[in-house]
Amino acid sequence: MKFSNRFYMRQIDKALRSAPIINTADYPRLVLFSDCHRGNGTWSDSFLNNKTIYEAALGYYFERDFTYIELGDGDELWENRYFSDIEEIHGDIFRLLERFRETGRMFMLWGNHDRVKSRNGFRSKALPPSSESLIIKCAGRKGEDVRYNLIHGHQADFLNNHLWKLARWMVRYLWRPLELAGVKDPTSAARNYSKGKIIEERMSEWAKLNNTHIIAGHTHRPALSHSRDGWSYANTGSCVHPSTITCLEIDKGTVSLIKWAACADENQYIHICRYLISGPEDFC
């Protein structure tokens, strides 16, 4: 293994060191989202185009007793300075999220774009305190505990982790204006295929070395990959795909990769539809 890879392995270890642990015996139905990038309602708000789709998905999961887990970058706090602006423009969404919190069915992680949520002074009525990581435990078929390690994924990305303040400055003052002219941010793991692939390979390597499972976001690329050797890498994708959002459903011992999108019926009426992309596969 290259020295640089050992560095990223340690960063993932560090992020998971004090991770809260939940058990599927207590939370049998879980839905994992990431990278919603809720913005302030302006032209740069990537979430805005998929807001109705996301709202429908939240209603579906709340009514079916799912626990909501967000793996970071839920709110776009690099392009926007103030969370209150986001909370105001998307008040209807935060009221839906608050229902999950009130029923004890919500866990939040912070990512690089909403890292300020890690500060003690950050407060939101709708959202619980955020952590850097989370571990899901379940009882395997042989009686042993199976662990799924949840992080955002920026821990395997030097610029967006150690140099996050520089990256935030670049996004806020350089790439945000240029995006209006059609110039894509080459530093973004979500917009740069090669960079995203390298980051995913680092997380997969960590899971393989530790013979365990890792679930992340950050690269915006949905994935559900199980290895016969007992380790796996999965990615929730994002809520800012073109006209589509993706997530992972964990339901009574299985995991599935899900897509939500607008669809038309035989009468040309528009609905919000749920599609199975991959799975279900054994989770425990």
Q: According to the model, what pLDDT value does residue 43 have?
A: 82
Supply the pLDDT for residue 188: 59
pLDDT at position 185: 55
pLDDT for res 207: 94
| Predicted local distance difference test score (pLDDT) of residue 228 | 65
Domains, the chain, ranges and CATH? 3-282 (3.60.21.10)
pLDDT at residue number 183: 56
Give 10-residue mean pLDDT values along the chain (284 residues).
Answer: 76 95 95 96 90 97 98 94 93 96 96 91 89 92 85 92 83 69 56 81 94 95 82 95 96 94 87 93 86
pLDDT of residue 192: 66
Per-residue model confidence (pLDDT) at position 165: 85
**HEC sequence for the chain:** CCHHHHHHHHHHHHHHCCCCEEECCCCCEEEEECCCCECCCCCCCCCHHHHHHHHHHHHHHHHCCCEEEEECCCECCCCCCCHHHHHHHCHHHHHHHHHHHHCCCEEEECCCCCHHHHCCCCCCCCCCCEECEEEEEEECCCCCEEEEEEECCHHHCHHHHCCHHHHHHHHHHHHHHHHCCCCCCCCCCCCCHHHHHHHHHHHHHHHHHHCCEEEECCCCCCEEEECCCCCEEEECCCCCECCEEEEEEEECCEEEEEEEEEEECCCCCEEEEEEEEEEEEECC
Q: What is the pTM of this model?
A: 0.92
